[in-house]
Amino acid sequence: MTMGLRRAWDRFSIYLPVLLMGLLALGTWWLVRNAPQAQAQRPASALQHEPDYVIKGFSIKSFDASGRLQSEVQGSVARHYPDTDTLEIDDVRLRSLSVDGRLVRATADRALSNADGSEVQLHGNAVVIREAATVQGKTQPLMEFRGEFLHAWPQLERVRSDQPVTLTRGKDRFTADSMDYDNLEQVMQLRGRVRGVLVPAR
């Protein structure tokens, strides 16, 4: 290697780190400029009111901690809606046992129930029946509610409706434009045009 070439190589090697740093900086700038832009996060879309599953010809039973049957729900078709966590049931049949063993039955063309079945809205040919029972030595006659809409809380033994209803208690019969019945509090409120037939006990 000649003296001139060696001198040129020495000069070049002094500036080599600076040149490499410049090339790296240039490459980094080019990558940042040409990299795809991060997409703005889209707001989460609202859940559609569409069923996430459908059950046909079903029966669901729930039990308490001791294994005693608390309630049973049967129907021809059930649809679960995740946006409201509700169950819509066609041709519904319900059975519920109170703490003291009294049976409550209900039927309707369609029902809308919350997740745990503690609140049920009955639509079309709605019927709720509390069977006759003897509680603390006192006989309670069969009680039946009928209407196109009944809102029931089986465990709380409560039935309400803002539409015309027919109530039968033993042999007594009442009709009203709306009703609120609380069996635990032993309170019945009938509103609107109320008519009743009381049959005296013999």
pLDDT tens digit sequence for 135-154:
777 788 888 999 999 998 87
Summarize pLDDT for 10-57 with one digit per residue, the tens: 665 665 565 556 666 666 666 666 666 666 666 655 667 788 888 899
Predicted confidence (pLDDT) at residue 3 exceeds the cutoff of 60: yes
pLDDT-wise least confident of 55-59, 67-71, 80-84: 67-71
Confidence of residue 1 (pLDDT cuts 50, 70, 90): low
Predicted confidence (pLDDT) at residue 111 exceeds the cutoff of 90: yes
Q: Report pLDDT for 162.
A: 94
Q: Dig out the tokens for 21 from the structure.
A: 């740093």
pLDDT-wise least confident of 2-6, 126-130, 148-152: 2-6
Other CB atoms closer than 10 Å to residue 201's CB: what's the count?
Answer: 7
Predicted confidence (pLDDT) at residue 171 exceeds the cutoff of 70: yes
The closest of 144, 139, 138, 130 to 172, measured between CA atoms, is 144
CB 147 within 8 A of CB 128: no
Put simply, whether the predicted model's pTM sits higher than 0.75 gets the answer no
Average pLDDT over residues 89-97: 88
Predicted confidence (pLDDT) at residue 156 exceeds the cutoff of 70: yes
Q: Report pLDDT for 51.
A: 85
Confidence of residue 131 (pLDDT cuts 50, 70, 90): confident
CB 160 within 8 A of CB 174: no
Q: Report pLDDT for 40.
A: 61
Burial 15-43 (b: 16+ CB within 10 A, else e): eeeeeeeeeeeeeeeeeeeeeeeeeeeee
